[in-house]
Amino acid sequence: MLRYETASSASPAAVWSLLARPDRWHEWAWHVRGAWGLGSPEVRPGARGAVRLLGALPVPVRIVAVDPGRSWSWRTGGVTFHHRVDARTGGGSVVGIDIDAVRPVLAVLRRTYGPWCRHATRVIAERAAAV
């Protein structure tokens, strides 16, 4: 599993509102230009839909788990992306994106998508704290 996370002064609730609402994903994921069928206003367990990447490419996904206010995961192909927010002792939160797949796929994702996940956690942490 690959893990990317960033500490934030934002409350877990502020982070969750960015993480769990498909209509807000474009605020922290520059490559996401739409999502449908995944739940509204928040992701819904078992929902099947798609995410439009880079303005053109629809990628089918399924929401495989939701722990309201804490985490949600989706699967596409053989890759699972886990989005989470953890409360920090003393206030604030930790924003995380974890990726799980077979080892050869993880090796490729570490070099290609991993840097973007690291950046996304920073953007979420900053935007949630600015509210």
Query: What tens digit of pLDDT does each residue of 97-129 get?
Result: 999 999 999 999 999 999 999 999 999 999 999
> HSE on the CB side for 89, CA within 13 Å?
0
Residue 55 Cα distances to 18, 34, 39, 58, 120, angstroms: 20, 8, 20, 9, 18
Query: Within its chain, how far is the Cα of 99 from the centroid?
Result: 10
Q: What is the pTM of this model?
A: 0.94
Residue 115 Cα distances to 3, 36, 74, 95, 108, angstroms: 11, 26, 19, 15, 12
Query: Within its chain, how far is the Cα of 72 from the centroid?
Result: 8
CATH architecture classification, 2-129: 2-Layer Sandwich (3.30)
